[in-house]
């Protein structure tokens, strides 16, 4: 495989992870900023570094399983390795603007 193919697969994995919804927040793990890194090796191994909103998150097992399943559905992915990390710790600022707005964490307009 070429570096370009690996990059294309990594993009595909990241897009597939948008289907994984955090059951407590109702947003996907990518928009929430829970996916720190996605890479794919020449052998079709997807490496995903992720976190949860807290160390004691009751959905940790569910999220890891769902991320693994979503990545496996991408063409050319043969193995999925997930690294769960809490460094750096997740903060709401890691969410993209859309997720922050949907969760009511940013002002949507001025108040006259």
What confidence tens digit (pLDDT) does each residue in 77-99 have?
A: 999 999 999 999 999 999 999 99
- Residue 76 in domain: yes
- Residue 86 in domain: yes
- Residue 19 in domain: yes
- Residue 9 in domain: yes
The pLDDT value recorded for residue 112 is 47
- Residue 109 in domain: no
- Residue 107 in domain: no
Range of the domain at 62: 3-92
User: From CA 112, how far away is CA 102, in angstroms rounded?
Assistant: 22
How many domains is the chain partitioned into structurally? 1
pLDDT, tens digit only, all 112 positions of the chain: 578 888 999 999 999 999 999 999 999 999 999 999 999 999 999 999 999 999 999 999 999 999 999 999 999 999 999 999 999 999 999 999 999 999 998 765 555 4
Identify the CATH number of the domain in which residue 80 sits.
3.30.300.130
- Residue 22 in domain: yes
- Residue 48 in domain: yes
Q: Cα 91 vs. chain centroid, distance in angstroms?
A: 14
């Amino acid at each position: 495989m070429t570096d370009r193919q690996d990059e294309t697969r990594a993009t595909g994995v990241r897009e597939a992870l948008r289907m994984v919804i955090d059951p407590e927040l109702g947003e996907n793990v990518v928009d929430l900023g829970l996916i720190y890194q996605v890479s794919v090796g020449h052998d079709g191994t997807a490496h995903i570094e992720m976190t949860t909103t807290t160390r004691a998150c009751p959905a940790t097992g569910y999220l890891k399983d769902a991320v693994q399943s979503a990545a496996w559905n991408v063409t050319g992915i043969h193995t999925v390795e997930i690294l769960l990390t809490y460094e750096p710790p997740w903060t709401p600022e890691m969410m993209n603007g859309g997720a922050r707005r949907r969760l009511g964490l940013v002002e949507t307009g001025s108040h006259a």
